[in-house]
Amino acid sequence: MHDDLPAMDDDDLRRGRPTVHRAFDEATAILAGDALQTLAFEFIAGPATHPDGGIRSALVSQLAKAAGMAGMAGGQMLDIEADGNIERMQSLKTGALFRFACESGAILGGADPAPLRQYAEHIGLAFQIADDILDVESTPETLGKATRKDAGRGKVTFVERLGLEGAKEKANDLVVEAISALDVYGPTAASLRDAARYVVSRRK
């Protein structure tokens, strides 16, 4: 909701429907985003998440880091500044939440988070590259949002950096690396392997 606002990406559509500030107004989009962010913390901190309060607190700490200055919000700031370091921007803006989503499973299960962290880093970057590819190859009808906006705003993208074929190759390589990070889990990680493949095969 916040990054769609006029002061940021100024997007009118999200998943084929009007963005919150278009359907309502800017104040509503700002406050609804604020309220939903707190709701995530309320949900995670609640007893239904895990019986051990220490584990719940660890999840809160990790989500807070992933969403804040060293994560999503900081990455969005770099995106707006368009400083050209797109690997670092991506690692913060979307990568941090991918890492949290994966690591939180290890935290909840008391397992080593390292393999899931590696997996998340690879699919996070593959996801962003796939996003840049869809931005030039897809249509607003299929994608459910405006396309070719990045070029119009002078933003560096992975497609521009690597070329279209180079970007596809890089995304596919990352999926292979993500899947090999799961070797330690054997056949139990099948759904994570499917998710990694989906990141580059999705059409929207």
Binding-site ranges for a copy of itself (CB under 8 A): 2, 5, 7-8, 25-28, 30-35, 37-39, 41-42, 44-46, 52-58, 60-61, 63-65, 67-69, 71-74, 76-77, 80
Q: Which residue bears the tokens 């990054």? A: 3
Q: Where are the alpha helices (DSSP H) in 138-163?
A: 140-143, 149-152, 158-162
Number of other residues whose CB lies within 10 A of the CB of residue 38:
9
Complex with a copy of itself: residue 70 or 176, whichever CB lies closer:
70
Minimum Å gap between C-beta 96 and a copy of itself is: 11
The span from the CA of 84 to the CA of 170, in Å, is 18
Of 46 and 105, the one with the shorter C-beta distance to a copy of itself is 46
Minimum separation from the CB atom of position 54 to a copy of itself (A): 3
> Least distance in Å: CB of 91 to a copy of itself?
16
Q: Quick one: how far is CA 157 from the chain centroid?
A: 16
Least distance (Å) between residue 99 CB and a copy of itself: 15
82 or 106, CB closer to a copy of itself? Answer: 82
- Cβ closest to a copy of itself, residue 71 vs residue 95: 71
Residues 135, 132: Cα–Cα separation, whole Å: 5
Least distance to a copy of itself, CB of residue 140, Å: 24
Measured from the CB atom, the residue of 59 and 196 that comes closer to a copy of itself is: 59
Q: In whole angstroms, how close is the CB of 191 to a copy of itself at the nearest point?
A: 29
Please report which helix (H) or strand (E) contains residue 174, including its range. Answer: helix 164-180
Say which residues have a Cβ less than 8 Å from residue 184's Cβ, sequence separation at least 6: 115
Facing residues of 17 across strands? 14
CA distances from 113 to 65, 103, 117, 152 (A): 16, 5, 6, 40
- Residue 35's Cβ-side half-sphere holds a number of Cα atoms within 13 Å equal to 6
Show the tokens assigned to 177: 């690396």
Question: 43 or 198, CB closer to a copy of itself?
Answer: 43
